[in-house]
Structure 1
């Protein structure tokens, strides 16, 4: 059975660093994992990669969790890597004892010089394992100078002599990309522990994946090359690696990568702008796939459509205008029950609220835009576009022909037919002056729907 055919219950993880707000690209990874797990009756682990204690914050972690919940992703398990340092330390000691984690003392400048030298000799710019040649006396002398080691994982890309590497292929059947191969001889031994004793991403991630029973790892395709070394680390720690999947990344329209350091396109900022969660989820999952991008009404509908392998191998360019288009489609289908609470928060309530929503929803991109139309309907014109001079008398005469109440959906046509007969006007010359007088806007909801909401007294108040 290949990984693509693997339907066993899945345990997945989304492991953001709480050093900033997550953006729509991060949401893509979270959604791929959540949808994949729930399709298979599995669990979604939210695991905060907060080993960088100086930059991580509880405030960012809570914001990330709130953003995921708003999108419809409820984690089954929440874990914090900062609470698991003992497990990482124990694993590091096992690797050291096995000779698979070794100390290195080069500075960044020294490593860069060696890299350039190897390139000049037409050799791959990988670490040459010079630290393995140091004797105990030499290590002691270096440490006596005040240098502290960083620690590298010895990749299994040799037979007997670590200085004589050979092609060592690692294969996996990628959930998204299909069969993949990485040559361990083409990469440097990865640094797992920094000079200050803090951990880089790889070791804590692998230890947590083992101990939390993660069965599938789905992440961005910028991690494809890393996967070979991580599979080797899983094996070094006595565990089989999970199945891997690498989806294409989202970029800006100009092709630039998205960054948590910029609040632009963050989930929180998009929510504050008024976007619906399903607009964001639909675009985050469907863009850059073989499926057409459309606004799906629910996570259940998105789950029915989702297949991890439908992601293409090229980056997907995110256009905010497309997100607005999806939002518009969703808003136009929202029922009054869907938005009643939100409308009330905008001050839209009472016996006219439901009819008002159905009158205006087809002309707005965001639910919050209903507020300006509520003001127009209930309070009168705000900064109206003026009538042409030649239309003022026409509108006054039209207002004099307003039918008596009660008003209903037929009142508009009854009134305009009467005005048409009396004035001889028709089409745009008839309707536009009346629209401007009633709403102060050249476009908007059907006046047949708005007129009964404005009422006869409210209409007469707008007479020029």
Structure 2
């Protein structure tokens, strides 16, 4: 098996792109196959090197390594060879209509209740007609002549898919400026780079019908296809309206764990429950394209935050220590891990335990009394219980009235890990100063 992920470097990757990238990778790794990264940059007007670099950075962040890379702008000569073959066989023909003329034809067809299919008017041109157009300064675009036959394939997601060539318009393969379009370059690459399976969005279904004939015309084997429904937002609307906040770059900068996004997208739209998974290999082992349905999956960023917390709660210290401060140890990690939503939250608890805190004092007399009753070190998890038991007896306080003033003084916050765990990490010197109202 060989699959490919073929982004165009015309912008940043977003979650809608990341899903087919991930699923292709998982499918290949499950089968022991290869994952090809193909940069579809034939649109020279919009393609940018910085976007190509950003795509690679995003894939590396997700952990999606590639076995092979191809860049379409390096393969332009191969598309010329393929186009010449199609021209020689009468399957690629020149057309001279302007965009305005094509727009008028489309409008007339729609008004007459006909589908806006190209009328093949260019096939009726004589050599004299073509010479006249070229003398006017027109340069042709080139269309692929479809055979008016049945086109069928068994889709791994959609099941049996059927088109008829007569119901499709002859696609443009070569622009007026001689640049190849996606339909041609993609098929040439899939043939020559031995791609066996193509998993992509359902917006390509009609393209697939055309490309199946193109594979045959160029003498290539037709790959196995799988077309997934496009992701919607949480309300069912188009995800494209929110792409700015859902680019992989923005998600990475927000502190999201890469395996959170992998865990979410690997199961989104399938019959499998979305669960926190910390290793890509585990996702690959359980991947099955047959479990994905034709229903539109909904992407909810709030679910990502919840899943991110669950991922962090599973991570051991060794897997995160390179991203934490040098004096952050496994004891502190295990203490604060259950209260983290993003890894960046760990800094707050590090500062509470190892740094300086401005205490919040609600009752200075009570916290002063607590400071005076602090036992000598060493401390352990029983220290907090012993302290509060003594304070309860001496003050008559209990419940929130007992615990909250102490928490606010010791941490500056009204929430967090259990103080029986935090207090030994804070230590007697800091605890005493904070209970007295001093920043420490």
TM range (shorter): over 0.9
Matched residue, 2:339? 363
Selected match of 1:134 from 99, 105, 125: 125
* Gap runs ≥5 in structure 2: none
Secondary structure at the aligned position of 2:427 is classed as: helix
How far apart, in 1, do the equivalents of 2:423 and 2:279 lie? 34
Matched residue, 1:155? 146
Secondary structure at the aligned position of 2:344 is classed as: helix
Selected match of 2:89 from 98, 103, 107: 98
Q: Cα offset for 1:222?
A: 0.8
Contact 2:278–2:315 (Cα < 8 Å) also in 1: no
Q: Find out whether 1:169 has 2:150 as its counterpart.
A: yes
TM-score (norm. length: structure 1): 0.91
TM-score (norm. length: structure 2): 0.96
Q: Find out whether 1:443 has 2:415 as its counterpart.
A: yes
Matched residue, 2:30? 39
Structure 2 CA distance for partners of 1:431 and 1:261, relative to 1, 3 Å: closer
Q: Cα offset for 1:56?
A: 1.5
Q: Find out whether 1:283 has 2:264 as its counterpart.
A: yes
Matches within 5 A, 1:376-415: 376-382=352-358, 386-388=360-362, 391-415=363-387
How far apart, in 1, do the equivalents of 2:433 and 2:199 lie? 61
Q: Cα offset for 1:354?
A: 1.8
Matched residue, 2:319? 338
Runs of 4+ in 1 over 3 A off after TM superposition: 254-263
Matched residue, 2:330? 354
Secondary structure at the aligned position of 1:461 is classed as: helix
> What is the count of residue pairs matched by the alignment?
436
How far apart, in 2, do the equivalents of 1:86 and 1:256 lie? 41
Structure 2 CA distance for partners of 1:311 and 1:235, relative to 1, 3 Å: same
Q: Find out whether 1:454 has 2:426 as its counterpart.
A: yes
How far apart, in 1, do the equivalents of 2:238 and 2:75 lie? 31
Secondary structure at the aligned position of 1:46 is classed as: strand
How far apart, in 2, do the equivalents of 1:179 and 1:108 lie? 36
Q: Cα offset for 1:121?
A: 2.1
Contact 2:361–2:367 (Cα < 8 Å) also in 1: no
Matched residue, 1:230? 211
Q: 1:44-88 deviations in whole A, cap 9, x for unaligned?
A: 000000111232222211221121122111100011000101110
Q: Cα offset for 1:373?
A: 1.5
How far apart, in 2, do the equivalents of 1:139 and 1:241 lie? 35
Q: Cα offset for 1:234?
A: 0.4
Secondary structure at the aligned position of 2:271 is classed as: coil
Contact 1:359–1:445 (Cα < 8 Å) also in 2: yes
Q: Cα offset for 1:353?
A: 2.3
Q: Find out whether 1:422 has 2:403 as its counterpart.
A: no
Secondary structure at the aligned position of 1:152 is classed as: strand
* Gap runs ≥5 in structure 1: 1-9, 158-167
Secondary structure at the aligned position of 1:195 is classed as: coil
Q: 1:402-450 deviations in whole A, cap 9, x for unaligned?
A: 1111111111111111111111111111111110010111101111111
Q: Find out whether 1:79 has 2:79 as its counterpart.
A: no
Contact 1:18–1:57 (Cα < 8 Å) also in 2: yes
